[in-house]
Amino acid sequence: MLKVIKARIHQQNRTYPFPQKMPVMDPRYAGRPIIKADKCQAACQKCVDLCPTQAVSKINGKITIDLGRCLFCRECEVKCPGSAISFTNEFSMGTNSLEALKVSDESYAKLEEMGAELKRLFGRSLKLRQVSAGGCNACEADCNVLTTPTFDMARFGITFVASPRHADGLLVTGPVTQNMKQALIKAYQALPAPAIVIATGACAISGGLFKDNFETNAGIGDLIPVDLYVPGCPPNPWTILDAMLRFMGAHK
């Protein structure tokens, strides 16, 4: 026991002081994109043609990136001849709606916190049942890491629970395979009311790379109501934690 205590003292506090201090992202990190319309070449369609998930569209010369579909592969940024698209290191990307995930300039819709009644119930404690609806385990891994000492989401009252009957909501990852469709719906039906649903990652939001596959449902939106969208492939753990805290009203 003394050795354990000594080792713990030597390790010191490993929990990052978020949100009082913002984390420094790796230079290679692809975060929230910005689009500079004045640099876009009117006749160019490269960004649209090369996007594997049709996340990029161009209507009347205006580029729009749907973060709900985006894989953050940066190919549009790399191949854009006018450098109209650039990915920043901004990790805060959670939204309340699908429409707010669409980026067409340098602005971005601010995530609104949950309603007054939900905040009264869940504002200081949020128990989530995590449902992997056919994911590749990338989003699942970045959710699991939130329980480690560095992130320690439990200090904000956010924890994962074993049963939806003990949960305040669902955190869903994966495109929803046909084999997981009924399981997801039943998990939602087992939640005590009121409940919240968090769609985490491109697959859960839109189906990601699998959106046109007959074996998947292209996300969860037409199966259960969604309150919070967290884009990414996978979303960075800071993106997930930031979105949940802003939604709870614990971070502005």
Domains by residue range for the chain, with CATH: 33-103 (3.30.70.3270), 116-248 (3.40.50.12280)
Q: How many CB atoms lie within 10 A of CB 245?
A: 22
Average pLDDT of 43-58?
Answer: 93
Between these two residues, 177 and 107, which has the higher pLDDT value? 177
Indicate whether this model's pTM tops 0.85.
yes
DSSP 66-117: ETTT-----HHHHH-TT--EEE-S-----BSSSGGGEE-SS--PPPPPPPHH
Which of 132-136, 173-177, 202-206, 208-212 is predicted with the least confidence, judged by mean pLDDT?
Answer: 208-212
| Pairwise CA distance, residues 55 & 216, whole Å | 18
What's the mean per-residue pLDDT of the chain?
Answer: 93
Burial per residue of 100-120, b for 16 or more beta-carbon CB atoms within 10 angstroms, e otherwise: bbbbeeeebeebebbeeebee
First-to-last alpha carbon distance for the chain, in angstroms, is 41
pLDDT greater than 80 at residue 7: no
pLDDT of residue 192: 96
pLDDT of residue 11: 64
pLDDT of residue 110: 85
Average pLDDT of 18-44?
Answer: 93
pLDDT of residue 60: 87
Average pLDDT of 3-24?
Answer: 82
- Beta-bridged to residue 103, according to DSSP, are 65
Amino acid letter, residue 65? I
Which of 2-11, 125-134, 243-252 is predicted with the least confidence, judged by mean pLDDT?
Answer: 2-11
Phi, psi of 117 (to 5 degrees): -70, -40
pLDDT greater than 80 at residue 10: no
139 contacts 173 by C-beta, under 8 angstroms: yes
pLDDT of residue 26: 94
Average pLDDT of 165-191?
Answer: 97
pLDDT digits (tens, 9 = 90+) for 105-147: 988 888 999 999 999 989 889 999 999 999 999 999 999 999 9
pLDDT greater than 90 at residue 248: yes
Of the CA atoms within 13 Å of residue 201, those in its CB half-sphere come to: 33
Residues ≥6 apart with Cβ < 8 Å to 80: 40, 44, 46, 47
Burial of 25 (0-12, 13-18, 19+ CB in 10 A): middle
